Amino acid sequence: MDLETRVLEEGKRVLRQNRRIIGGHEVTIPAPGWFDHQYLWDSCFHAITLSHFDQAAAENELISLMASQHRNGMVPHSSKFNFRGMLLPYTSNITQPPLIARATLEVYEAAHNTAFLDNMFPKLNLYYEWLSKKRVREGVLTVASPLEAGEDNSVVWDDADSLRLPKASYILYDYFATHFPKTPQVRHVFSVKETALYADSLQCMSLIAGILGNNELSTRYERQHEKVIESMRKVFRHSSGLYYNLNSNGEPIIVKTHSIFAPLFAGALPKEEAETLIKEHLLNEKEFWPQFPVPTVAINEPKFSPTGYWRGPVWMPINWIIYSGLLRYGFNDAAQMLLLKTLVVVEKSGFREYYNPLTGEGLGAREFGMSTLPVDMVMRNGTK
Ligand code: GLC
């Protein structure tokens, strides 16, 4: 068996093993014994990967995710707490990276089941409407807490506001913001990654509406998408040419993280700028190209830590976002190199939650669902 086939087979095994029926809903939990809820972006990635080998499971994953949608349209970052197979009443007050339309489109394209698309579409409309009302500021997406970005302890949040309170107070605040609906939102990080995912999803919504014959909505989503792309440039582009997140006061948070590459995912950069970004930063051994890329923080940043949670290690959803961006621009050589290095680290250390980018050592949870994304990366490479 070659490397790709071994990773494919193991990835399928892990996702199958993590499937549960919770309260009548089919769910893939991120990692047994570590994360037993259903999580929003995990489920989107699980569904995308499942669609390569179990279509019904992929569709049910997204249908069960939307079963937790709040009446106002919000989809919680986690839900369906699993206690010995029982569904306990649980929901959260924050959302997660808005990939649901991208996942829905990919799952649809695997089998062209229009009934699935019909089922998802009204719920997706509500969700993207909620985001545009509650999270969009100055035309880009803001994030209420690091958990909402799926990056719990990211360095970006060290400088998210000017109050600079002790870290413990933010952890306490985030706990309340997550679990108690009336907690006011006091922090707004203007997030490059979330905006790129949002822009892409608006384009997916336009395509989905088109497939379902709703031309009016299709045009409306396409326009909304174009406006977000324009705003990204205005809001995030720094004089250095890099796109930085902004803190709650609208000031750039100047630290090189993986999010400088997120605009590629949305096709938001002119081709020459994209080329420079890849040559000077991604394929640069001093920044984002150590032996096991892609570190979530550049290795020459003072805050880089090879083992700190979201403070340097490799996370597969980020490799997937960057890989997708490279493919979108036709940077096939860089995409191939990234794919190979990604497969190597997974083969070396298994499907761990995250990896040390200097040694390839696996860290955190084991049998971690989102780390099976290399399966999708291989399948999209057209080699299997
Ligand atoms: C951690 C990760 C987050 C993920 C969750 C469940 O909180 O930071 O990205 O969604 O675990 O796997």
Find where tokens 């902004």 sit.
246
Please give the structure tokens belonging to residue 226: 């174009």
| Tokens 């229009």 found at | 114
Whether ligand 1 lies within 6 angstroms of the CB of 374 is answered as no
Residues 6+ apart with CB under 8 A from 111: 51, 55
What are the C-alpha distances in Å from 319 to residues 180, 288, 294, 339, 381? 33, 11, 6, 9, 14
Decide if 212 contacts 117 (C-beta within 8 A): yes
CA separation for the pair 379, 241 (Å, rounded): 33
Mutate to test the pocket of ligand 1, among 14, 15, 34, 42 (most ligand atoms within 8 A of CB): 42
The residue nearest atom 4 of ligand 1, judged by CA position, is: 150
Report the pLDDT value the prediction gives residue 178, as an integer from 0 to 100: 80
Q: What is the mean pLDDT of residues 260-266?
A: 98
35 lines ligand 1 (CB under 6 A): yes
Q: For residue 380, give the H/E element and its range.
A: helix 373-380
Predicted pLDDT of residue 102: 98
pLDDT of 239: 96
pLDDT digits (tens, 9 = 90+) for 11-48: 999 999 999 988 888 999 999 989 988 999 999 999 99
Average pLDDT over residues 371-375: 98
- Give the phi and the psi of residue 202 in degrees, each rounded to 5: -65, -35
pLDDT category, 131, cuts 50, 70, 90?
very high
**Residue 161 predicted with pLDDT over 90:** no
Span from the CA of 204 to the centroid of ligand 1 (angstroms): 24
Task: Kindly list the distances between the CA atom of residue 85 and the CA atoms of 36, 81, 287, in Å, as whole numbers in the listed order.
Answer: 10, 9, 44
39-86: per-residue pLDDT in tens? 999 999 999 999 999 999 999 999 999 999 999 999 999 887 666 666
Stretch 256-279: mean pLDDT = 98
Q: For residue 309, which atom of ligand 1 is closest to its CA?
A: 8
For ligand 1, whether the C-beta of 41 sits within 6 Å is: yes
Neighbours of 239 (CB within 10 A): 6
Q: Which of 18, 34, 39 to mutate to test the pocket of ligand 1 (most atoms within 8 A of CB)?
A: 39
State percent of the chain over pLDDT 70: 96
42 lines ligand 1 (CB under 6 A): yes
Which pLDDT value is given to residue 87? 64
The more confidently predicted of residues 337 and 82 is: 337
Return the SS3 of 83: strand
- Cα separation, 60 vs 2, in Å, equals 31
Task: Evaluate whether 66 touches 75 at the Cβ level (below 8 Å).
Answer: yes
**pLDDT tens string 191-210:** 999 999 999 999 999 999 99
User: What is the pLDDT, as a whole number, of residue 166?
Assistant: 81
Q: CB neighbours of 157 closer than 8 A, spacing ≥ 6?
A: 145, 146, 151, 170, 189
Confidence grade of residue 187 (pLDDT, cut at 50, 70, 90): confident
- The whole-angstrom separation of Cα 149 and Cα 194 is 7
Check whether 164 has a pLDDT greater than 80: no
Phi, psi of 114 (to 5 degrees): -70, -30
- Averaged pLDDT of the chain: 94
Residue 331 CB less than 6 A away from ligand 1: no
